[in-house]
Amino acid sequence: QEYIWSNYNGLSKDVKYIDELIKLEKKKLKAKLKEFPIWFVDIPRSSSSTIQSIMWKKLGWPFGKRNTINNNFLVQETSHLLPNHSPSFITKYIIGEKTWETLKTFSIVRNPFTWSCSLWHYNINNGDKKFKNYSFMEFLNYLDSNFKTNVEERKINFNNYRQTDYLYDKDGRKLVKKLIRFENRKDIKSFMESIGVNYSSNIHINKSNNIN
pLDDT value at residue 209: 58
pLDDT value at residue 208: 53
pLDDT value at residue 91: 93
pLDDT beyond 80 at 206: no
Q: Averaged over 4-15, what is the pLDDT?
A: 78
Rounded to 10°, the helix 48-59/185-194 angle is: 20
- Asked if 206 contacts 125 with a C-beta cutoff of 8 angstroms, the reply is no
Peptide bond into 37 cis (omega under 30): no
pLDDT beyond 90 at 108: yes
pLDDT of 135-149, one tens digit each? 999 999 999 999 998
Count of CB atoms within 10 A of residue 25's CB?
A: 16
pLDDT value at residue 67: 60
- Asked if 106 contacts 180 with a C-beta cutoff of 8 angstroms, the reply is yes
Query: 154 φ, ψ to 5°?
Result: -85, 145
pTM for the whole structure: 0.86
Worst-scoring range by mean pLDDT, 34-43, 45-54, 137-146?
A: 45-54
State the pLDDT confidence band at 2, using cuts at 50, 70 and 90: confident
- Asked if 154 contacts 160 with a C-beta cutoff of 8 angstroms, the reply is yes
pLDDT value at residue 203: 57
pLDDT value at residue 195: 92
The H or E element spanning position 105 is strand 104-109
pLDDT of 72-105, one tens digit each? 766 666 788 898 899 999 999 999 999 999 999 9
pLDDT of 12-36, one tens digit each? 778 888 889 899 999 999 999 999 9
